[in-house]
Structure formats: C-alpha cells, structure tokens
Amino acid sequence: MKFTKMEGAGNDYVYVDLFHETLPEPPETLAGKVADRHFGIGGDGLVLIAPSEIADARMRMFNPDGSESEMCGNAIRCVAKYVYDHGICRKIPLTIETGKGILTLRSEVSDGRVARVRVDMGEAILEPEKVPTLLRAVSGREKDAAVGVPFEIAGRAFSATCVSMGNPHVVFFVDKPTDELVLGLGPQIEVDSRFPRRTNVEFIRVINRAELEMRVWERGTGETLACGTGACAAAVAAVLNGKTDRAVTIHLLGGDLFIEWNASDGHVMMTGPAREVFGGTWLG
C-alpha cells in the first residue's frame, strides 16, 4: 500500500489515496499501526482520500485508537492539497465530503502546487444536545448554549464553553496552557461523563483581542501540535465570552491558523498551511 505523509501546522497524518490504492486491512486496526512513531510510519492518525458521489473527494479520518472522527481541520487542508497537486481534481474551489457534510476549500497555489488552504468550516454548533454535552447554561433550559459554565474536575474549578465543529470540543480560558492542564487534566476531561461521545479539550491563553495561544488534547489521540476544528471552536468560544473580535490568529505548538467567524452567516473560516513531507510503501 502506497502512502503519503502530510502535515498542517504540525498536525501530521498518514494519507492513503483510495482512488488508486486498496487498504490491506480495516482502517480501524490499520490506523494504530501506521501512526505508531516507533514501529510504524508515525503520525496523529490515518486519513483516507476516497471517491465521492456528492463531492470532488471524500475524507475519512481515524485516530490511533481506531475511532473515527467526524472532521479534522488540518487534515482536510492536506486532502485539498493532495487532490489538487496529484491531479485528482485541479479546480478551485474544491468540495470535500466529511462526517460533518460537504465543505468547500479554496487553495492558494504557487508554482503549480498548493501552499495554503482556506476552508469554509460551516456553522459552529452550540446546542448542548448536538455538541453533545450534558453541560447547560446557568438557566438550565434545554437549548441554552454551554457558554462560560462552571466546570469542576480533580478539585479544580474552571469556566467551560462547549462547541461542535462537527466534532465535540470544550474550551477553557486559562492564564497559561501548562503540561499540568493539557497532559494531566486533558485525558480526564476527554472521557468525562458530561461528554457522551468524549470530547476534544482546548486550553487557551488570551494574548489580545486578535491573538490566542492554544494547546489541545485531542479525543482518541492525545496532545497534538495543532487542531483545526479546535482552533475554530476556540475562536467561537472567545467571541461568545467577549474576549476577542471575530478574526483571530491562533498560535499553536505547530504553527499559526487564522480563524474568522462571520457575523453574516455564522460560518467559520479557517486558513492555514498544508505540506507534503514524504511518501513510501507500507509493507505491513
């Protein structure tokens, strides 16, 4: 099986082109093997680039633990780059089918290759039952968004905001996103019973009204250098809590993402890099 290693802001995955390749085993088991950084190729998971009947291509993403995620913002930029650069569909914009639905991506091309991609991530989902989360706003009404709600865990008190970008996120604004928070509390929060389908966890420091610093514990993976959907969720949460304007640069361990939350239609736009690192043959 031929593969391509790609990364977006340091969020790296093993990509397989199902237009031309066949998987040697189910993706749920293959993901952990190829993602292993000692005995495999190494990466944050496995991404399949497949034909679609309703879009230019389809993306499926599997975490190292075998679970399938609905969406990945950094991975979909890399899918757009692969689809364009490898001649599967050389048009701008592209449409990609995901677990969240069909997303539209506009690539920035230099010397015939994609360098950056702007993604229309669609609308942020705030209804608690759709995130999903058992957390509710103070009023407790069913449809009240969980924005700035009290959240206690391991003897620590926080203020939590829950957002779905097709996959669940909980955002915490902190003085500094430390190892104690990300590596210590992140895995506990991921599996907390208040999140029925587990959750991605973002710890955010507000720099100013146009910049955020972020670290993320990803559901099914652990800490990653970047999370595109998490950056989108963080930007939405920052606006909802009155901490930033609607256009922000988010500094992640692997690089920067630029996020805009449109007031007109509620869509979240994400712009960031996509890079092909190397390719090879998986021998199993």
CB 208 within 8 A of CB 217: no
Give the CA count within 13 Å in the CB-facing half-sphere of 157.
Answer: 2
Residues 190, 193, 194: CA angle, nearest 5 degrees: 85
**Active site amino acids:** 72, 227
Return d(Cα 230, Cα 216) in angstroms, integer: 7
Q: List the structure tokens of 203.
A: 């710890």
Q: Nearest Cα to 210, choosing from 164, 261, 176?
A: 261
Phi, psi of 11 (to 5 degrees): -85, 100
**Which residues on neighbouring strands pair with residue 267, listed in sequence order?**
123
Could you list the beta-strand ranges (E) of the chain. Answer: 2-8, 11-17, 46-50, 57-62, 68-69, 94-98, 101-110, 113-123, 149-153, 156-164, 168-173, 200-208, 211-218, 222-224, 247-252, 255-261, 267-273, 275-281
Computed over its alpha carbons, how large is the radius of gyration of the chain?
18
User: Residue 194 — left, alpha, or beta (φ > 0 → left; ψ -120 to 50 → alpha)?
Assistant: alpha
Return d(Cα 124, Cα 216) in angstroms, integer: 18
CB 153 within 8 A of CB 192: yes
